[in-house]
Amino acid sequence: MNTLSLPSSSGAEKSKTSSPRIALFTICSNNYMPAARVLMESVAKLHPEFELFIGLADKVVDWDGLYEGPASIIEAHTLDIPDFKTFSFQYDIMEFNTAVKPFLMEHLLVERGFDRVFYFDPDILLLNRLDLLLQHFDEGASLLLTPHLHKPAEGISDPDDITIMRAGVYNLGFLGASRSAETLEVIRWWMRRLHRTCINAQEQGIFVDQKFMDLAPCFAPNAHIIHHRGMNLAYWNLAQVAFQQEGKTWTADGEPLVFFHFSGFDPRDPDCLSKHCRHFRTTIAPALRNLLDKYSELLFAAGYGKVPAALYAYGFFHSGTRIPEHVRRMFREFTPDWPSDPFETYEAYLHQPAPKGSLDKENLVFTNFQHYLWNFFDNQRLNLDPERTDHLTSLTHWYVKNARSEQGLDHRLIEPVACRFGQMRPARMVGAGHKPAARPDISVVGYLKTTSGVGTVARHTLQSLSRSGLSVEGVDVAFGVVSDRSDLSCASLLNNRVRGRIQLYANINADQLPAVLEHLQPVTDDGYRISMPAWELEEFPAEWLAAFDGVDEIWAQTRWIQRMLAGRLDKPVVYMPVSLTLDLPVSQPRTRYNLPKDAFLFYFSFDFLSFIERKNPEGIVAAFRRMRQDHGNPKRATLVIKTMNGDFAKDREDAFLELIGDDPDIILINGVLSRADTLSLMTCCDCVVSLHRCEGLGLVVAEAMALGLPVIATDYAATTDLLSPATGYPVGYRLVPVKKGEYPFGEGQKWADPDIGHAAWLMRHVINNPEEAQQKATAAQQFIQTNYNTQTILARQMQRFTELTKKA
């Protein structure tokens, strides 16, 4: 473990003026910057002599006006905090913000040479001058602390005095410090503690930075406890005072309200003072109501709620996978001396085999992260032994099926385990048997003439296999199809009977599979049947699992689909991606499609028959309009939306047309285009946007990447196989319930609600940073060419065919 070495105070210069130099600072991440600006503006009005600072527990982003105001910005990574990458990785956002506090305070006292420094939480509003606190410093105070409570809190109090004893006697939303040997000794002790122990663990007697400071008066004889009722007033002590309003001022027990702490207040829910307590809800007294309204108005004027949480710089691995609390806890408890950048390397360690665990089966590996969770949850540790194959099977099944829903894990942390879990041995092999001369090796069954995404994938698969050297033919599925069926690019490969020794049912969904198997009677019954199903939601319908009784194994074209089916079927569920490379189309001028020559063009396409709620074009329209409203740009931007099959969903088409209205910057192109024309239209545009709620493959995203276009897409579902911070612009999201009628078997499930504000900012960011956007687009194109080219995918398929034809 590295030793925490700190600067001494001997080099600090004393003020050369008679008046002490005073600094006031707060700490926040980008999403809380509007509140921090409100605080700083309130301080600047009352104390123009203070120098103001915002410690940014984040990284600066190019969000218009975000850092405007009277305070200077100091990024946390510039504070020379030892092992900063470890320091920022081990804590969640709340812990990290509080852990930075003593480091920035010491920096201001020593490196910047301030004589007195105040810290305020960003959700505080200053309403009167701090002259009383300055007087305490004049009287020799080293530290200034405000207690949570002014008197015992018993009975129905919330919080009560026992709760406060767990959380900390003093509220560290405020702290005053003067530059002295006594102060620096306490601050540096605090730094050492918070370097590794700023955690929310009240059962261990620790509550982030706050609980430690219960000891501060023991270490600092000159610490002063401030008992003024109007200082640091909040939900925890408001019930202990008489809170009144007189004109435009407020008082607490007759003393002026100096600063109010709005801890837990959300201006979007103004009838609740704080989410942290049961009191002050619904019925709000007039004095408090007026104060909350005043503060809400200031917050909204500063842009509250518009800065996306997804901009938090320390919330993700470099791959784009979200870092859950369990991973941070595992890191600091078991691998605190990690030798490299954990944001870059720790994700791979999570998936490596743990020392403990049965290896009796090739598809069961107990990973380091699974071992941590097993050890963390008593019911697993006491009842299941990973050294036993049957117990390890149960542990793995729980991890693949339930860890996401129960623990909120990013699906990318589960998919590697699901990938192995699905690699079970097939129940039977492909029989060499008697092969009539006319019988092909492989039949690809799918919607081979249909101009849709499922049709495109089926054609890709057939055309790729036709170059394998094996005898391959296609069988088109026509019944039940209402979409256009004019694509004849595979016509020369088509047959009307399923004859192959291996029969690949490409992108035929489980609900249609039994009907297809019954309708297209194979010539013989000994063919080895492989299903390539498509599905989008988090949970594969249990009602459809029986549909796979008629096949021998599943090919999951994305890790997203494999995670849903691995372990739920008694047959192999093999990750088998499809080829996504394509021939570049002939370049066409924008005038061919009546597109403006000089505008920056965003593009999206969707089929009205593919459930408009899932594709979410309304979200793209909202993001485009938000971009124009919040991030004005001198370059004109236009949104191009390609649609088809509106005639089959007239009510939804009409609603969408009404949404767009007469917006001159949104262009709708409706109808069926040839494959070449569709790709040419895409290349006329500058950036592709997909704010989908879920995707089983995400063909529009894949095609845009293959064409070398920048892509902005929801960071959710199957497109995460393709899009990462290295290859594009992932959009943050939250999970919301699927509403009745929005998708088959959707009730009770959740899907993504993409962050419209984040998408809008990314759209502006792409316009303003063309070189960066092109670098990502080039990386995306190379990623597709390397990992999803026809030769690579074909080799993978042929390897599987070889495995299936080996003699047992």
**CA distances in angstroms from 762 to 64, 692, 790, listed in the order given:** 12, 16, 32
What are the b/e assignments for 597-623, b being 16+ CB within 10 Å?
eebbbbbbbbbbbbbbbbbbbbbbbbb
More confident site: 11 or 666: 666
d(CA 395, CA 371): 10
d(CA 551, CA 534): 15
Characterize the bridge pairing of strands 143-145 and 224-225: parallel
Q: Which amino acid is it at 205? A: G
How many residues comprise the chain?
A: 808
When pLDDT is cut at 50, 70 and 90, the band that residue 633 belongs to is: low
Residue with token string 């089966």? 361
User: Which residues make beta-bridge pairs with 367?
Assistant: 353
DSSP 414: T
In this structure, whether the domain defined by 590-788 belongs to CATH 3.40.50.2000 is answered with yes
d(CA 85, CA 344): 10
d(CA 749, CA 727): 29
pLDDT digits (tens, 9 = 90+) for 383-405: 999 999 999 999 999 999 999 98
Q: Cα–chain-centroid distance for residue 723?
A: 13
Q: How many CA atoms lie within 13 A of 420 on its CB side?
A: 18
Positive or negative torsion for Cα 202, 205, 206, 210: positive
CA angle 273, 278, 281 (to 5 degrees): 45
When pLDDT is cut at 50, 70 and 90, the band that residue 283 belongs to is: confident
pLDDT of residue 450: 85
Radius of gyration of the chain (CA): 31
**CA distances in angstroms from 349 to 345, 356, 412, 413, listed in the order given:** 7, 15, 14, 11
Q: Cα–chain-centroid distance for residue 168?
A: 32
Q: Is the pLDDT of residue 360 over 80?
A: no
Output phi, psi for 491, to 5 deg.
-55, -40
Query: Nearest Cα to 619, choosing from 516, 541, 691?
Result: 691
Name the least confident of 252-261, 514-523, 693-702, 718-727. Answer: 514-523
For 442-579+793-805, CATH gives 3.40.50.11930
pTM of the model: 0.91
pLDDT of residue 437: 58
Q: Helix 453-465 crosses helix 699-706 at what angle (to 10 degrees)?
A: 60
Average pLDDT on 631-644 reads 86
When pLDDT is cut at 50, 70 and 90, the band that residue 432 belongs to is: low
pLDDT digits (tens, 9 = 90+) for 571-598: 999 999 999 988 889 889 999 999 999 9
pLDDT of residue 648: 83
d(CA 347, CA 369): 10
pLDDT digits (tens, 9 = 90+) for 474-511: 999 887 776 778 888 888 888 888 888 999 999 898 98
Are 706 and 691 contacting, i.e. CB atoms less than 8 angstroms apart? no
d(CA 499, CA 19): 94
Query: Nearest Cα to 501, choosing from 525, 466, 476, 534?
Result: 525
pLDDT digits (tens, 9 = 90+) for 735-772: 999 999 898 888 899 999 999 999 999 999 999 999 99
Characterize the bridge pairing of strands 528-532 and 502-506: parallel
Characterize the bridge pairing of strands 143-145 and 174-178: antiparallel
Are 537 and 749 contacting, i.e. CB atoms less than 8 angstroms apart? yes
Q: Where in the chain is the domain with CATH 3.40.50.2000?
A: 590-788
State the CB neighbour count (10 A cutoff) for residue 70: 15
Positive or negative torsion for Cα 444, 447, 449, 453: negative
Q: Is the pLDDT of residue 329 over 90?
A: yes
pLDDT digits (tens, 9 = 90+) for 84-125: 999 999 999 999 999 999 999 999 999 999 999 999 999 999
124-129-132-133 Cα dihedral, nearest 10 degrees: 50
Q: Which amino acid is it at 306? A: K
pLDDT digits (tens, 9 = 90+) for 19-66: 999 999 999 999 999 999 999 999 999 999 999 999 999 999 999 899
Q: Where in the chain is the domain with CATH 3.40.50.11930?
A: 442-579+793-805
d(CA 358, CA 391): 9
Q: Is the pLDDT of residue 331 over 70?
A: yes
H or E element at residue 473? strand 472-476
d(CA 79, CA 204): 29
Output phi, psi for 653, to 5 deg.
-65, -45
Q: What value does the mean pLDDT of the chain take?
A: 92
What are the b/e assignments for 484-518, b being 16+ CB within 10 Å?
bbebeebeebeeeebbbbbbbbbbbbbebbeebbe
Query: Nearest Cα to 697, choosing from 680, 713, 681?
Result: 713
The pair of structure tokens assigned to 258 is: 């100096």
pLDDT of residue 427: 83
Query: Nearest Cα to 174, choosing from 102, 99, 261?
Result: 261
- Name the percent of the chain lying above pLDDT 90: 77
Q: Cα–chain-centroid distance for residue 214?
A: 36
Are 555 and 532 contacting, i.e. CB atoms less than 8 angstroms apart? yes
When pLDDT is cut at 50, 70 and 90, the band that residue 12 belongs to is: very low
Task: Kindly list the strands in the beta sheet with 231-233, ordered across the sheet, starting from the edge strand earlier in the chain.
Answer: 124-126, 259-261, 231-233
pLDDT of residue 429: 84
Q: Which amino acid is it at 175? A: L
Average pLDDT on 162-189 reads 97
Are 83 and 2 contacting, i.e. CB atoms less than 8 angstroms apart? yes
Are 453 and 446 contacting, i.e. CB atoms less than 8 angstroms apart? no
The pair of structure tokens assigned to 323 is: 């870092």
For 22-231, CATH gives 3.90.550.10
pLDDT of residue 4: 43
pLDDT of residue 464: 87
Are 577 and 540 contacting, i.e. CB atoms less than 8 angstroms apart? no
Are 706 and 728 contacting, i.e. CB atoms less than 8 angstroms apart? no
Q: Is the pLDDT of residue 433 over 70?
A: no
Characterize the bridge pairing of strands 494-495 and 472-476: parallel
State the CB neighbour count (10 A cutoff) for residue 131: 10
Q: Is the pLDDT of residue 13 over 50?
A: no
